Structure 1
Amino acid sequence: MIPARARDRDGTLLEVPGWHLTAGCLFPAVWNAVTGRPPAEGLKDYDVFRFDDRGLSWEAEDGVIRAAAEVFADLPAGAEIRNETRVHLRYQQKFGVPCAPCTSTGAAIDSFAATTCCPGVRLDPGGRWRVCAPHGLSAVFGLVVRPNPVLAPRAVHEAKTARRRRQWPELTVLEWPTA
């Protein structure tokens, strides 16, 4: 469970406003359950998206990343916590295409290279789990990888899909849309 506020081992407050656990740990866990594999097999990382528009500096982001690394040090895979208000500052350099600023964590989740990777979950202040699934969940549970050409280039989708197919050969991969 990731509260909106957590403390690292030194007691430093880690604020994670607008957070969602997403991508790297969600769809692999579902695919493992559906295919009878161990829950953490193929798990690359725990992606935590947050939305904090109080500052766009690298120093502010890095402070949260460092604190989160300590908070999540005991996880079996690394935790990657990123402020989605900053994604447009690094996206073009990483993927070769420009990216408009995200308006919410949900908007950032909706821009993954495959719609299958778009679910996110969070625990609300009342202790209830909330699901963000802009493309639904049927493809995730049906082992279908559907391209999401809204932002990521085709080459990114194809590279990630090739890696996933090696791990889960049962996947059905839909073609990149031509229109």
Structure 2
Amino acid sequence: MNKREKQLVEVIDEWTPYVRPLFDAPPSSGIEYWVGAGVITQSVWNHQFGYSADYGIGDADILYFDASGTLEEEKNLEEQWNDDFVDLPFSIDVTNEALVHLWYEKKFNQTIKPYTSVQDAIDTWPTTASSVGVKRRKNGDYKVYAPFGLEDLFQGIIRPNKRLIPEEVYWNKAEKWKKRWPELTILSW
């Protein structure tokens, strides 16, 4: 684990009280999952910029990959997670990345190929700073997946990841985040 990955783990494991419970007491779903994007990225910004741990966080993204899964199972898991973590100050969004291609076109007016893994999905997320996933291994150690590294995240730089998203999606996210965290630096498309 490099220096930035260690720093990330310190923020999510020690500083914020809201991420560790997602790893400590997962619902009895039996899935191997990652926590990604929102709650990870925004916890780092809150730490870096001196905000409270719950400031601005809209949701926690729980990601898993089950090629034989169904959208109904995904919905049921999401309900279970939200019921089990009702005391968290944000909602939980559960996504089976194996199924994203089934609904992506309707939501974003663009077809995509099926993802092959959670990491494959993270590779396409809208910004370099938010393309981050963390999972806890059976031995208790954390595994960080950040295909663009963690420098942009820790430096508060919002840079587009043009692999999949259209420019409009990037600007919508960037502008929303800039309103919450004015310290962020937004780079042009």
Please report the TM-score for the alignment, with normalisation by the length of structure 1. 0.88
1:14 aligned partner: 29
The residue that corresponds to 1:112 in the other structure is 125
Percent identity among equivalent residues? 33
Task: Determine if the alignment matches structure 1 residue 46 to structure 2 residue 27.
Answer: no
Task: Give the unaligned 5+ runs of structure 2.
Answer: 1-20
1:125 is aligned to 138
1:112-157 deviations in Å (ceiling 9; x for gaps): 1111101111100111111011100000000000100111111111
Partner Cα separation in structure 1 for residue 132 and residue 98 of structure 2: 19
Matching residue's letter, 2:156: L
Work out the CA distance in 2 between the residues paired with 1:25 and 1:160.
Answer: 14
Q: In 2, Cα distance between the equivalents of 1:159 and 1:6?
A: 32
Displacement of 1:43 in angstroms is: 0.5
Quickly say closer, same or farther: Cα 1:39–1:4, change in 2 above 3 A: closer
Task: Give, as a single letter, the amino acid of the residue that structure 2 aligns with 1:140.
Answer: L
Count of aligned positions: 169
Report matched runs for 1:69-148 at 5 Å. 69-148=82-161
Extract unaligned runs of 5+ from structure 1. 8-12
Contact 1:5–1:16 under 8 Å retained in 2: no
1 CA distance for matches of 2:25 and 2:181? 35
Letter in 1 for 2:29: L
Please provide the CA RMSD for this pair.
1.6
Contact 2:99 2:114 in 1 (8 A): yes
Which of 12, 15, 28 is 2:42 aligned to? 28
Code of the residue aligned with 1:46 in structure 2: it is A
Counterpart residue number, 1:10? none
What SS is found at the alignment partner of 1:47? strand
Structure 1 position 63, deviation (Å): 2.0
CA contact (8 A) 1:119 1:131 kept: yes
Task: Give the secondary structure class of the aligned counterpart of 2:61.
Answer: strand
CA distance in 1, matches of 2:142, 2:135: 6
More strand by share: 1
